[in-house]
Amino acid sequence: MDLLYKHPILDRNKDLFGFEFKLRDSGSSPAKVMNFLIEENVIQEIEGKKCVIEFSEEFIESDAYELFPPSKVVIKLGDVKEVNEKLINALKDLKAKGYELLISDFRFDKVSLLPLLPLSDYVSVDWKRCYFEGKDFEDEVDALKYINKKVIVCGVNTEEDFEKARRIGDLFQGNFFPPSVVRNGRNLRFLKTTIIKLYDAIEKKDVNEIVKLIESDVGLTYKILKWVKNLYPGKSKDIQSVSDAVLFLSINNIVNLLLVIAMSELFAGKYEEQIIKRSFFRAVLAQELAKIYIPEYTKEGYMIGLFSLVDELMNEEPASLARELKMSSEIVEALEKRYNEFGLLLSLVELLENHPENERIIKNVARTINTTEDKVKEALKIAKEKVESLTR
């Protein structure tokens, strides 16, 4: 599991301005931090404070920052390979949408960064330079403040550092204000083939196909539901399926989310792939049996099957995850293996998954839900065919 840290940024009075979010592994890509923040409710939980998030050029040019509300985030521009017209125009667009921009590790002798200066709201500088450059460093900070840039002094590691830095800077960051762990990140994995098919469906603006593909992957389903419920907490009870969630999203939102996942390279290995396929098989089978047994609850049947294996995929109790997503009580109770019609449905699905060709078991399942053996076999056939089509 990855650990996400929030690094405090304070003002001269040691009042909290906000946090910068980083993973424990300093070599982790910004995409992995974004992926974590999308999944968790971190930004929404920090009321009235700014969240500094590093974005690569690719994410800025793709509008992926729109996954986060402009009122809550400051976008930190990561290492810039080349300042060109495309990047400048993307940053102008970002600013027009109400986002604030931070240029990190700035210095005037980095001539290539100068075109970015007029677009920035914040500029960070390294406090270590003060020891080597003395008054030249202070003059540079004064020049930045003269053109109305808020200066974040980084590398403030001691009380002495802070007392000196507060005379010239506006905001401060460093080991003097130690970071804290937000929480462990879930190591969600996704089928690469599903991501590729989703891009094709998005290109065609086929919303039904988009929903179908997301619902085939338990990790994607979890991430979409979690993200939308975080964005619209007042609507949590109304969002019980992917089709419900997609109603709240634009195609552009979904594209940006897929971009984050793809650049994080969070793709399933062989073990995870088998669990995802089994989850999809269970989901389809539960849905088909629900059509016969409890036809008004086919959506719930699907979600019960889909999330029934998250203990193997994500090391999470299925019922606990369902409660976290504020799923209906029927789904939670079924995943708790309570004795009700939904719990019975899941038990029948598990039985058929393990014995798909056992005539005696098929006969008993048919009798239990008051249907024919042929209909149970047809449900198994549909589930098997849909799983096979998943990786074509």
Beta carbons within 8 Å of 190's beta carbon, 6+ residues apart: 217, 219, 220, 261, 266, 267, 268, 276
> Which CATH number covers residue 129?
3.20.20.450
Confidence (pTM) = 0.69
Coil, strand, or helix at residue 369?
Answer: coil
34 with 144, same domain?
Answer: yes
User: Domain end: 184, 218, 237, which one?
Assistant: 184
- Number of Cβ within a 10 Å radius of residue 27: 6
Tokens representing 17 are 């301005």
Q: What is the pLDDT of residues 155-199, one digit of tens each?
A: 999 999 999 999 999 999 999 988 877 655 555 667 777 777 887
Q: What is the pLDDT of residues 96-117, one digit of tens each?
A: 999 999 999 888 888 888 999 9
- Confirm if 305 and 286 have CB atoms less than 8 A apart: yes
- Confirm if 26 and 59 have CB atoms less than 8 A apart: no
159 with 300, same domain?
Answer: no
239 with 293, same domain?
Answer: no
Q: What is the pLDDT of residues 39-55, one digit of tens each?
A: 666 776 677 789 898 88
Query: What's the rounded Cα separation, in Å, for the pair 292 and 6?
Result: 50
161 with 129, same domain?
Answer: yes
Query: What's the rounded Cα separation, in Å, for the pair 48 and 223?
Result: 25
234 with 306, same domain?
Answer: no
User: Domain end: 217, 238, 264, which one?
Assistant: 264
17 with 81, same domain?
Answer: yes
Question: How many domains does the chain fold into?
Answer: 3
72 with 178, same domain?
Answer: yes
User: Domain end: 202, 233, 264, which one?
Assistant: 264
Query: What's the rounded Cα separation, in Å, for the pair 178 and 384?
Result: 52
356 with 230, same domain?
Answer: no
239 with 311, same domain?
Answer: no
33 with 79, same domain?
Answer: yes
115 with 259, same domain?
Answer: no
CA distances to 114, 150, 289, 374 from 370, rounded to whole Å, are: 74, 71, 11, 12
Range of the domain at 229: 192-264
109 with 169, same domain?
Answer: yes
- pLDDT < 70 stretches in the chain: 1-3, 24-30, 39-41, 44-45, 182-189, 262-268, 391-392
